[in-house]
Structure 1
Amino acid sequence: MLLFLAASCSIGGSNEPSDQRRRIYIANDDHTDYIWLADEDSHRDAFLRMFDYYLDQADATAANPSDFQSRFSADGSFWLWTYQKNKSTQEFQRLIGRILDGHITIPLQPLVLCYGAMPAEAVIRSMYYPGRIERAFGVPFELSCAMENQTLPYGLPSLWAGSGAKYSWKGVCNHATQIGNGMESRGREIYYAVGPDGRSVLMKWHSWTDDYASGGYAEARDPSAAVDFAASDATFLSRYPFTKVVGMFGKGGDDLQTLTTDLVTTAQAKSSAAQRVIVSNEVDFFRDFKASAPADSVPSFSGGFGNQWDLYSATMAEVTANVKRAVEDLRSAEALATLVSFVDPTFMSTRSESAEEAFMNMGLYYEHAWPDGITPFSWQRVDFQRRTASQIVNYVSSLKSDAASALAGHIQNPGGNRYYVFNPLGWSRTDIADIPSSVTPPFRVVDVTTGEEVRSQLIVKNSQSFVRILAEDVPSVGYRVYEIQSVPSKFTDNAATFSGGNTIFENERYRVTVDGHGAISSMIDKLDGNRQLVQAGHSLNDIGSGSGTPVPENIGPVSATLLVNAGGVPYHRARITVYKTVDRIDIDNELTSNFGDTIITYDYNFNLSGHTARHEEVGAIATAKLKAQGGSYSDNLGRYDYLTMNHFVDLSDAAHGVTLSNWDSLFFQLGNSSVSSLDVTTPEVKALVGGRIDANLGTPDQNGDSYFKNRYALRSHAEYDQADAMRMALEHQNPFVTAYLTAGSGGGYPSSSYSLVSIADPRTIIWALKPAEEGISEGIIVRVWNVDDAAHSLDLTFHLGHMASAQRTTHIETNISPVRIFNSTLSDVLPGQWMQTYRLVRR
């Protein structure tokens, strides 16, 4: 049977070199606007009904010549997931068979997403369900799309290609957009969309003529007109690089359901001695085009277009921030779970369904039909946003809590009030660690590895007492053990001294002045010639109002905080913290009133000139300039006022700079950038809290939310170091995990310290480490990212016995090729900004 299916797939719509007729591929691609004009139950029923209909149509047209057989393309893997959850095994197998033989196409993405607010790992996890299907049934997933929204992130082609995608098509809606004229003449009708690492997908993105015509998201709405356009429109054909092979995709448009045979009858009627009209599964078009078009006729383009509909996620800013935080916390949760799974291989076995749902939801949360408070099902969609966010958060927090507790039971404990400090990151680091404790002075904390006392103090957070320590040299993806003893501490100094009526505090590196807004009006780098980092007359972390008084809080040998209950409009407070030894200023903002549709930002004005701004976009470190200026952004057809703000933004001149770590914000405005221009001269970052950036678009009034948390951190530095900026941000956003030891002397892990894995080159970062989806018996999955722009060698060493084998995999965990491993060290070479995923199996 498999031989028959393969043969059928190879025939259907394939290029036949002896046939020199023009080949026009028309695809019945449906388009989902999830919970926009229908509720969830109606969408589920439509998915099931359409699949059943087109399965029957595939059977009914099986005797037709291949060009005239029915084919159907869903616009997301969520369709397949829904079918599997609601149909019998036999029915699902029938669908899988038709995917394998090319009559049904499923793309990698869950539905139509707006990617600009998504963390890179959320993009990857949203494609994990196809990865499971790929391994279970041998189904290739070669297509991924970002439909209707007018923009596309710079790094997205790399994430898609790294997950197995080869092809993409995009059609836009030329409505509800601030992007001006130009989509009618894009300059590239089909091209290689290249990411920052050099990976690419072949992208069909025609110039826009209408939403339901070429360049729109339903190009084959009228399949007969689509064929005529592809065959004879002089303007289109003059732009298109290889007119022998043309694709026109999309039938359903905004309809909930499309059941049609129009494309089959059109293909039969329009085929002639001069042209073949082929009912397409979309992949067949790309294969034909790639095989037939001269290589030098197809252009390439690498660059980002900013954000358009992506910005709507900021109209439910705190809910979206909760998703962002959970995706970040997944790093710690899964690293802990990996250590536990080596001792207890069943640890993850009951979590498969909830993990699958959480990863699917990491995409569905960003589905493009964002609630606007007007359309009939808008409030049901608001409920959907909150439910999907809650499921993600609950899955990650539960996994992290359970894994942390389980690890505490596997570390040897000969006695004493001991706890571990776990570092989820891939390098040894020194940072603060907080453990809940009701201990009363006198006490001290001792590093069990060295037997030496460490700096410690009592703090209160959210009305709970903690012991805070300075945990030094906690190993990579590993832990150190500490013991609380009822002995007076030798450390009596404070991490900072105060002056100016408690408006100024300083440690060994920074002298910081805080004003009544909760803003930093002065930041002096004492180790760099007393360099002032704040632009004269401005400040950092300024929301623009407030009249509070800075009050010292949690002062001790490890850290010191200034709290400002600023009030203002909107009402807010800020905590600014400096540390002993830790080179970072942490800022914890809480906004405690609803601000309606107003755009609220924390503004950072830096004392720099001739600077360059760089930031983590979506799977890319981008330079915030137009391509003509040496940057990462398209010179036209972009929107530039609010850029993606993932882990960090850095502003640097040739000798100095500042890294701003961002834990919670979704977007930032660079200086006075506008919709149509990037401001590359004003040294200002406006970190977005939230707001309705485009009037009447997105959810009104933040859906009533009145609490918003935004945390940032600052570090002064010499010349820009891309990896150092990312590492600083990851340290800020991935605090140490702590738990009291509960095992006796027979635990499986050593009593003092342990490291699971280490990586030699600081420019290559462990991005994710987890048990394989099919269980720890199938290995450990490690995703690494060379965040530098140059290629670097990778040496990844595991400290848990010898590894039997290693494989390069796609980001969604499907094996690609073996990779060299010697004495438990995996070696590879990664090009600049290359993210690579590996599977390692123990002996």
Structure 2
Amino acid sequence: LVIPATNTLLTAEKFAAINYALGYSEYPQREFDFLWRKLIESMDHNHDGQGGLPGDERKRSYAEMAILQGGEILRDRLRNIAERVEIPFGRCFPIVVFNPLSWQRSDVVKAHLTLYGEVSPRDLDDYRKGMRLMDEKDSPIPFHVEQYSENISRALDITFIARDVPSLGYKTYYLRPAGTTESTPVTAQLTFDSEQDHRDPRRPSGADTMDNAFYRVTIDKPTGRVTVFDKALGRDIVKNMEMVGVEERGGNYIGIEPLSGRTIPGMIDRIALEENNLVRAVMRLSGQVAGVPVTQRLILYRDAKRLDMENSIEWNHGPQVRIQQLFPYEIPNAEVRYGLPFGSNAADRLMANTGPYQVDEISQESWLKARHIQNWIHAGTPQYGFTIASDHQLMKLDDGLIRAEMVRGVKYTSVKVVREDQVGSMDYPPPGTYVCRYSLVSGAGDWKAVKAYRTGMSFNQPLIPVSVVDYVSRKVLPPSQSLLSVDGDNLVVSSLKKLDYGPGIALRFFEYEGSPANATVRFLGKGQVVREVNMLEEDLPGGEQSGLAVRPYEIRTVRLPAGR
């Protein structure tokens, strides 16, 4: 919960600051202060304390509160902007797609919108005949209706790829009626091993494949192992990906992890096509790992070079195993690099004279392999490589193998629990469905050339669609614009907020790739003269500047005029 809660509050701050600068609403400073403090409290180290399960649940609720209440602030501020965007067409339903990150991007959008007639809500015959999605230039956008629900009006869940959405800005799309629904091509060409059954039923089992313009995904029928071939690079990027269970003899959830030496492979019961349409193709693998039901969805897109993976684990006090997603690769002399707050690190760069030294900490061997990543991890050479974007943080590294940790069953925790005459411990992890998501992207060049950090940050901060419902109020904003941009291809905006004291706006950005940059700022469509401040938002010497020279890995904070 910490990652989505943090991203929700950061995004809400950005668009609340923009609303404040535009004069659309006041800045909810007290609400943000409260939510940030509670989110920090939710990360308190004192698990299994004397507060017991009620204390643990309360901390969990603090993170959920940041998502819920921060999300309400965000939705209100996005709608303040969306409802002011021009509608250049007559009969249409606008969808304003917001980009919370500081670079122009193309990405997947999943939108929900409600259709209703102009006089009676049920007057939708023109939309029932057919629909088309257009941008402001009246160019058609491929889309897919995931589902619709209907009583009087009609609600749709649609998926499409939004292209070139401006940095920290928005781009508008319009759902319009069409005379007919055109037949559309599919995303992937599919080959199923079962197609050979009639011709040769006595042969050994083979593989199913999904092919699009970018990748060939091969799924081995007996094992469920997945190999991904990059067509542009002409080589396998990962080979024999799978979910496995690494068995333990029974350790605790802090640092004692005695391994039995056995790795339990996943057993696949069924491989099935879930969808194959104009936007994406989805294959579903169902089975179990050490008796724990698991499902994997593999998602290819027609117009985006990426393979998304969604792993669901149905945990119910399972065995003493750690369930992992394996990413094996064969890249000679590959460097592994991963994201950190305000930068990245090479996997072989460790601080000298560090490591575990207490008896309750993990072993030296385990410590050397473990990495807590932020958003992404990349394996490759200066010539080519691949990036894994992840919504989970713990990875283990072996030669030619990245292990993504998902769920770990433990024998005991650090607390002793006595119930009547039974002495035991707490059951962790609690029963439930655990979902781990990854996105695999490959390409030519090293991690900087492919912007691996953008892949990871985009995966965890998706584009945000807002369906417009107000057709009466005055429309003063263009269909597409950047609300904030910082020149410099290697610069990343980490926060945008109102100053704690005074009417200005605080902008913080940093250099990611280890190269100098010259930063100029555009805010609300205008080039800005900025004043540098420290982390406490106090003015630094130097006066106002139209541009800043940024050193490698430097973090800079500047003050912008509010514009009100």
**Short-chain TM bin:** 0.7 to 0.9
| 1:282-301 paired onto structure 2 within 5 Å | none
User: Counterparts of 2:23 and 2:222 in 1: how far apart (Å)?
Assistant: 51
Higher helix fraction (1 or 2): 1
**Paired residue type of 1:606:** Y
Residue in 2 aligned with 1:434? 110
1:209-242 CA-to-partner distances (Å, cap 9, x unmatched) read xxxxxxxxxxxxxxxxxxxxxxxxxxxxxxxxxx
For the residues of structure 1 that align with 2:233 and 2:68, how far apart are their CA atoms?
44
Query: What is aligned with 1:551?
Result: 272
Name the aligned partner's letter for residue 647 of structure 1: N
Q: Do structure 1's residue 560 and structure 2's residue 265 form an aligned pair?
A: no
Query: Of 264, 278, 301, which residue of structure 2 is paired with 1:579?
Result: 301
Question: Who is 2:254 aligned against?
Answer: none
Q: Alpha-carbon deviation of 1:542?
A: 5.5
Given that residues 624 and 633 in structure 1 are in contact (C-alpha distance below 8 angstroms), is that contact kept between their aligned partners in structure 2? no
1:594/1:702 contact within 8 Å kept? no
Matching of residue 689 in structure 1 with residue 423 in structure 2: no
- Indicate conservation of the 8 Å contact 1:412/1:743, yes or no: no
* 1:525 is the counterpart of 2:230: yes
- Which deviations, in whole Å up to 9, do the C-alpha atoms of 1:679-738 show, x marking residues without a partner? xxx121111223367963489433524121211101112231337000111222221111
Q: Which residue of 2 aligns with 1:647?
A: 375
CA deviation after TM superposition for structure 1 residue 516, in Å:
6.5
Partner residue, 2:532: 808
CA, structure 1 residues 842+400, in 2 after alignment: closer, same or farther (shift >3 Å)?
closer
In structure 1, give the amino acid aligned to 2:270.
Answer: T
Q: Deviations over 1:56-82 (max 9, x none)?
A: xxxxxxxxxxxxxxxxxxxxxxxxxxx
Q: CA deviation at 1:524?
A: 0.3
**Hey, what's the Cα distance between the residues in 2 that align with 1:455 and 1:795?**
35
So what's the TM-score if we normalise by structure 2?
0.79
Show CA shifts across 1:5-29 (max 9, x none).
xxxxxxxxxxxxxxxxxxxxxxxxx
Determine if the alignment matches structure 1 residue 708 to structure 2 residue 434.
yes
Q: For residues 157 and 70 of structure 2, what CA distance do their matches in structure 1 show?
A: 23
Matched, 1:410 2:114: no
Instruction: After TM superposition, give the deviation of residue 595 of structure 1 in Å.
Output: 4.5
Q: Does 1:360 align with 2:70?
A: no
Looking at structure 2, the residues matched to 520 and 812 of structure 1 have their Cα atoms a distance apart, in angstroms, of 51
Q: Distance in 2 between matches of 1:703 and 1:462?
A: 36
Report the Cα distance in structure 2 between the residues aligned to 1:640 and 1:398, rounded to whole angstroms: 42
Q: Deviation of residue 579 (structure 1)?
A: 1.2
Residue 328 of structure 2, aligned match among 605, 610, 620: 605
Matches within 5 A, 1:245-264: none
Match of 1:213 in 2: none
Q: Which has the larger radius of gyration?
A: 1
Q: 1:495 aligns with which of 184, 187, 195?
A: 187
Structure-to-structure mapping, 1:391-790, within 5 angstroms: 391-413=65-87, 415=90, 416-437=92-113, 440=128, 442-448=130-136, 450-460=137-147, 465-487=156-178, 488=180, 492-501=184-193, 503-515=208-220, 521-529=226-234, 531-535=235-239, 538-540=240-242, 544-568=265-289, 569-596=291-318, 598-625=321-348, 631-638=349-356, 639-663=367-391, 665-671=392-398, 682-691=399-408, 696-697=413-414, 700-702=426-428, 704-722=430-448, 724-744=451-471, 747=474, 749-774=476-501, 778-790=503-515
Which has more strand, going by share of residues? 2
Q: Give, as a single letter, the amino acid of the residue that structure 2 aligns with 1:421.
A: V
Per-residue CA shift, 1:431-470, capped at 9, x if unaligned? Answer: 222221466562110101x111111111249998412222
SS of 2:458's partner is helix
TM-score (norm 1): 0.54
Q: Distance in 1 between matches of 2:325 and 2:486?
A: 36
| Structure-1 separation of matches of 2:483 and 2:223 | 41
What are the Cα deviations for residues 778-813 of structure 1, in whole angstroms up to 9, with x where unaligned?
22222212111222222222243464x523233454
Instruction: Work out whether residues 217 and 227 of structure 2, in 8 Å CA contact, stay in contact via their aligned partners in 1.
Output: yes
Contact 2:243–2:266, Cα closer than 8 Å, also in 1: no
Residue equivalent to 1:387: 61
Given that 1:518 and 1:565 are in contact with CA atoms closer than 8 Å, whether structure 2 keeps it comes out as no
Is contact 2:185-2:278 (8 Å) kept? yes
Cα pair 1:779 1:841 within 8 Å, conserved: yes
Residue type at the aligned position of 1:809: V
Q: Name the Cα RMSD after superposition.
A: 3.0
Aligned pairs for 1:22-33 within 5 A: none
Provide closer, same or farther for how the CA distance between residues 340 and 563 of structure 1 changes in structure 2, counting only shifts above 3 A: farther
Cα deviation 1:553-599 (Å, max 9, x = unaligned): 34222221112233443222122111122121111222222355642
CA distance in structure 2 between the partners assigned to 1:466 and 1:460 by the alignment: 5
Cα offsets for 1:501-525 (capped at 9, x unmatched): 4931121110012357996521000
Q: Which moved more, 1:463-472 or 1:495-504?
A: 463-472
CA distance in 2, matches of 1:840, 1:660: 35
Secondary structure in structure 1 of the residue aligned to 2:506: strand
> Which of 13, 28, 34 is the equivalent residue of 1:334?
13
Aligned to 2:204: none
Matched residue, 1:794: 519
Q: Deviations over 1:377-427 (max 9, x none)?
A: 333431332232222222322222222333222223365211211111111
**Cα pair distance change 1:595/1:795, threshold 3 Å:** farther
From the superposition, tell whether residues 601 and 811 of structure 1 become closer, same or farther in structure 2 (CA, over 3 Å): farther
Letter in 2 for 1:499: T
**1:212 matched residue in structure 2:** none
SS of alignment partner, residue 561 of structure 2: strand
The 1:447–1:659 alpha-carbon spacing in structure 2 relative to 1, beyond 3 Å, is: same
Alignment deviations for residues 620-640 of structure 1 (CA, whole Å, 9 cap, x no partner)? 311111xxxxx2433543533
1:591-611 Cα offsets, whole Å, 9 max, x none, are 222355642222211122321
Q: Hey, what's the Cα distance between the residues in 1 that align with 2:209 and 2:221?
A: 12
- Secondary structure at the aligned position of 2:413 is classed as coil
Counterpart in the other structure of 2:27: 348
Q: What displacement does 1:615 show?
A: 0.9
Aligned partner of 2:30: which letter?
E
Distance 1:462 1:486, change over 3 A: closer
For the structure 1 residues 773 and 490, does the alpha-carbon distance in structure 2 shift closer, same or farther, using more than 3 Å as the test? farther
Q: CA deviation at 1:539?
A: 1.6
Q: Return the letter of the residue paired with 1:643.
A: R
- Distance change (3 Å), C-alpha of 1:446 and 1:651: same
**Cα 1:460–1:333 shift into 2, 3 Å:** farther
Report if aligned partners of 1:622, 1:632 keep a CA contact under 8 Å in 2.
Answer: no
SS at match of 1:389: helix
* Contact in 2 for aligned 1:518/1:574 (Cα 8 Å): no
SS of match in other structure, 1:581: coil
Deviations 1:474-514 (A, max 9, x none): 11111111111121466711222111249311211100123
Fraction of identical pairs, as percent: 17
Structure 1 pair 533–694 and aligned structure 2 pair: CA distance change class (3 A): farther
Alignment of 1:362-377 (within 5 A): 362-371=39-48, 376-377=50-51
2:428 counterpart SS class: helix
Relative to structure 1, the CA distance from residue 646 to residue 506 in structure 2 (aligned partners, 3 Å threshold; closer, same or farther) is same
Would the aligned equivalents of 1:756 and 1:798 in 2 still touch at CA under 8 Å? yes
Structure-1 residue corresponding to 2:3: 324
Which range moves more in the overlay, 566-575 or 645-654?
566-575
Is the Cα–Cα contact under 8 Å of residues 423 and 737 in structure 1 kept in the other structure? yes
**Offset at 1:820?**
4.5
